[in-house]
Amino acid sequence: MKTKLKKPNKTENSRLLLIGLGNPGAEYHETRHNAGFMVIDYLAEKLNKPLKKSFLKPVATAVADKENKQIILVKPLTYMNRSGAILDYVMNKYGAEISDIILICDNMDLKPGMIRLRKKGSSAGHNGIKSVIENLGSQDFGRMYIGVGRSVSGQTVIEHVLGKFDNDEDALFKESVEAAAEALLMLKDRTIEQVMNEVNKKNN
């Protein structure tokens, strides 16, 4: 179902809606599929804005105002394949538009340690992105991809993304989570094209 949005209550480009994808629960903590959650957690700590779970809906959010830009941190607590189900509530609550969104998630086509920023795109088989697209009725939102690579040990895709990195790649993964978070903060005073040029050039 397409999300129905209220009229925004802030001026154009005055907010940044950062939505990190993942699965709730201790068993999924720091798994590859929870890269988006990890970026949001890092940002919440850096901005000193603890995430708070809604009493009404399965979502955790935090809001920070930085340099005339409202930064809204979001963790859907609906499990990955239903990530978009909470967007109607979140976007109406904050008066957000699709153009305010940057979705943050894992990407198997990028090696561990790599990140990539995009303005839009298809789901590429990612169930979380697919759910968001279905609920928004649009693919025209930004994405920050965190590289997790593909399995080389015969694991299925599900086993791979729900698993954790070995020691040799774990450090690269966590470095990329921090790099993605820092790049997203650049969007508070720069365009997505400017940040894309810098971030993606470093990760080619």
Q: Taking a C-beta distance cutoff of 8 angstroms, is the pair 163, 173 a contact?
A: no
Q: Please tell me the distance from the alpha carbon of residue 188 to that of residue 173, in angstroms, as a whole number.
A: 24
Catalytic residues, which ones?
Answer: 33
pLDDT tens string, the chain, 204 residues long: the values are: 555 544 444 444 589 999 999 999 999 999 999 999 999 999 999 999 999 999 989 999 999 998 778 999 999 999 999 999 999 999 999 999 999 999 999 999 999 999 999 999 999 999 999 999 999 999 999 999 999 999 888 889 999 999 999 888 999 999 999 999 999 999 998 999 999 999 998 877
Q: Taking a C-beta distance cutoff of 8 angstroms, is the pair 140, 120 a contact?
A: yes
Contacts of 160 (CB under 8 A, 6+ apart): 32, 108, 148, 150, 151
Amino acid at 141: F
Q: Taking a C-beta distance cutoff of 8 angstroms, is the pair 143, 61 a contact?
A: no
Question: Which of these CATH numbers, 3.40.50.300, 3.40.50.1470, 3.30.930.10, 3.40.50.12780, describes 15-199?
Answer: 3.40.50.1470
Tokens matching residue 33:
């599929």
Element holding 76 (H helix, E strand): strand 69-76
SS3 16: strand
DSSP structural state of residue 84: G
Burial class (CB in 10 A: 0-12, 13-18, 19+), 204: exposed
Tokens matching residue 5:
């949005």
Q: Kindly report the pTM of this predicted structure.
A: 0.91
Q: Please tell me the distance from the alpha carbon of residue 16 to that of residue 101, in angstroms, as a whole number.
A: 6
Domains of the chain, residue spans:
15-199
